[in-house]
Amino acid sequence: MALPAVGASASLDKTITEQDIELFGQVSLDKNPVHFDEAYAKNTRFGGRIAHGMISAGLISAVIGTQVPGPGSIYLSQSLKFRAPVRIGDTVTATVTVTAVREDKPIVTLETVAKNQAGEVLVTGEAVILVDG
């Protein structure tokens, strides 16, 4: 696989559903009531249920593994800053952009961002990926 050029970018969109939260809770074992119990969540700073933050991080991972750099991508690291909550019905757009390509090894650095349908930044971070393929 050829290494992507600095500036290469790709995105994907997903509307978050009740089923996404249920399935993520089952797979991750994260049953935090802020995700599952509306009465509980109403009394939090969010004023209602929110999706697991790692669902948005998973969408970033999906872009990396399927588009840029693409199949064969192996995470070396990922930093994440959660900026705003995701709610059921939000459409999350995960975008990765190549910011650096190592000359000595097949390693790329990516800016990672997730935004909602209103353009509000939900998650920011940086990923370092080994391109093995």
Q: Where are the alpha helices (DSSP H) in the chain?
A: 18-28, 33-36, 38-42, 53-66
User: Residue 50: CA atoms inside 13 Å, Cβ hemisphere, count?
Assistant: 18
Q: Is residue 1 part of a domain?
A: no
C-alpha 92/C-alpha 120 separation (Å) is 10
Cα 121 from chain centre: 12
73 within domain boundaries: yes
Q: Does 54 map to a domain?
A: yes
Measured CA angle at 96 (ends 87, 101), to 5 deg: 155
Q: Can you give the pLDDT at residue 2? A: 85
Structural domain contains residue 30: yes
The pLDDT score that the predictor gives to residue 61 is: 98
Taking only the tens of pLDDT, the chain with its 133 residues reads 689 999 999 999 999 999 999 999 999 999 999 999 999 999 999 999 999 999 999 999 999 999 999 999 999 999 999 999 999 999 999 999 999 999 999 999 999 999 999 999 999 999 999 998 7
What CATH number has the domain bearing residue 94? 3.10.129.10
> 3 lies in a domain?
no
- 19 located within any domain: yes
What is the span of the domain harbouring residue 25?
Answer: 9-131
Tally of domains in the chain: 1
Say if 56 falls within a structural domain.
Answer: yes
Give a yes or no: residue 111 inside a domain.
Answer: yes
pLDDT of residue 115: 98
End-to-end CA distance of the chain: 5
Considering all CA atoms of the chain, what is the largest pairwise distance in Å, rounded to the nearest integer?
A: 54
